[in-house]
Chains A and B, each alone.
Chain A
Amino acid sequence: MALRGLCRTFSGDPPVEALRSIDIDLAPGSFTALIGPSGCGKTTVLRILAGLDEASSGGFEFEPSRTPRIGYCFQEPRLLPWRRIDANVALPLELEGMPREERRRRAGSAIERVELGGFAAAMPATLSGGMRMRAAVARALVAEPQLLLLDEPFGALDEVTRYRLDEMLHDLWRRDRFTALLVTHSIPEAVFLAERVVVLSPRPGRIIGEVAVDLTERTPQVRATDEFAHLVQRVYRLLLEAMGDGA
């Protein structure tokens, strides 16, 4: 899977060029993070991949010419407030027309995997922000996607909760090996999760450079190592360059 020459210009007066010729390879089972100043079109990349928006030119290529199953995690949990957590998690399966029993079984296992066991019958309004986001991750994973798109899913959470959810996401990825594309504002989050951090420039978004993340292990302790700090610095320098402040 790859993005080739992706451009997106929003029509309007004047037209807004959001993305300019984006190329990203998404090797099967890889984890890529996309980072850049706000308004640089990061989210637009995900929306185009998910079919919620259309590229002006270029786009999403995949082989074998079969559309990959896509899971999407929005910035907000976007749970249906009238449904229990299990019914929310099962929604993508329900919309596919999967039989109820099978749906229930898969939703139950997805809920277990995000460590929400025991809250399957809870209503969204009774859960904390972090738990609601876990449910949203479970919903994105329930259909066993080949490509998981994450649009700054934990941005609204407090730092400690965010770290915990990053660790959970890393474990899920290591186990299931879906291809992941994460959009984030947080450099430590990008470094902790991704094998590769791609840095975008301010609008129109272009790729400025990338940093390969070769952490030997990704435990909570790694965040306190020099190795980690060094990677964060490298991404930060690229970002400064992108903003035109580092020259």
Chain B
Amino acid sequence: MPRIAVAAPPIAVVAATVLLWWLAVRAFEIPEYLLPTPGAVLEAVWVERDRLAWGMLATAIGASGGFAIAAALGIAIGSILGLSRFLERGFYPLTLLLQMVPLVALAPILVVWLGYGQRAVIASAAIVALFPVIANTLGGMRSVDRDLEELFSLHRAGLASRWWRLRLPASLPSIVTGLRIAAGLAVIGAIVGEFVSAYAGDRAPLGMVIVSAMREYRTDLMFGAIGLAAIVGFALFGIVNFGGWLLLRRWHASARSSSD
């Protein structure tokens, strides 16, 4: 499909939404503190650009720090659970149970444990992003081709060699899927962490900017900060997607079809 045909529909929908938004605010005379116009939001972003840029940076660091921890820990835990049926049967239901816990609700506890500040934010992002990485890694490890496992048995490959040369690359498509989900979740976890771990000042993260704008009824600034948080999420997702494509493009169908 030509690029323009791919890009046109979403651009048209976004443009129409923004237009409707602007028309609605004008037509129903909605007060500014409830719903500002798109123009007012852009203006607020411009006026507060320094503060918001620092906020974005702080949130990006929190989210990507949490993401990195979730990725490393999730791949490690998923690989270990994938080693034996016993471990999987023993621990996997537990991880599912933990998934039922609204993880963002743990953020206040993290603040108690780790203190106010970025460490709690990173921990919050990591916890929220961890489970899809574990689940997808385990799924990948479980579905490694038996015939290829046998090839490694034939050559008496050790566990570490088998993991590095067979199980990890074979699971990569599935792991990348898990990491994509984790990228979006990490930003959610970071913002919630920022809500509760209140470290204010000129270089406060976006979550803090949103909370203090709420206290001042500065809806325009809140919308701006939310939009920028979404951009952080998009960026992280984009980086993960690109990394996955780089790793898989030479051999896996999922990467090949999207690059054609």
Contact of B150 among A52, A80, A82, A95 (CB under 8 A): A52
CB-CB < 8 A to A125: which residues of B?
251
CB-CB < 8 A to B151: which residues of A?
74, 78, 91
Shortest C-beta distance, B166 to chain A (Å), equals: 7
B residues 155-209 near A (Cβ < 8 Å) are 155-157, 161, 165-166, 169-170, 172
**In the bound complex, do residue A81 and residue B154 qualify as a contact, i.e. CB atoms below 8 Å apart?**
no
Q: Interface on chain B toward A: helix, strand, loop, or mixed SS?
A: helix
Q: Could you say which interface size class chain B belongs to?
A: 10 to 19
Shortest C-beta distance, B217 to chain A (Å), equals: 55
Whether a CB of chain A sits under 8 angstroms from the CB of B152 is yes
CB-CB < 8 A to A74: which residues of B?
147, 150-151
**In the bound complex, do residue A123 and residue B152 qualify as a contact, i.e. CB atoms below 8 Å apart?**
no
CB-CB < 8 A to B250: which residues of A?
82, 123
**In the bound complex, do residue B148 and residue A80 qualify as a contact, i.e. CB atoms below 8 Å apart?**
yes
CA distance A123 to B252 in the complex (A): 11
Shortest C-beta distance, B123 to chain A (Å), equals: 34
Whether a CB of chain A sits under 8 angstroms from the CB of B17 is no
CA distance A78 to B155 in the complex (A): 13
Whether a CB of chain A sits under 8 angstroms from the CB of B153 is yes
By beta carbon, the residue of chain A nearest B147 is: A78
By beta carbon, the residue of chain A nearest B166 is: A80
CB-CB < 8 A to B157: which residues of A?
95
**In the bound complex, do residue A76 and residue B251 qualify as a contact, i.e. CB atoms below 8 Å apart?**
no
19 A-B pairs within 8 Å (CB atoms) are namely A50-B154, A51-B154, A52-B150, A52-B153, A52-B154, A72-B154, A74-B147, A78-B150, A80-B148, A81-B251, A82-B170, A82-B252, A91-B151, A91-B165, A94-B165, A95-B152, A95-B155, A123-B251, A124-B251
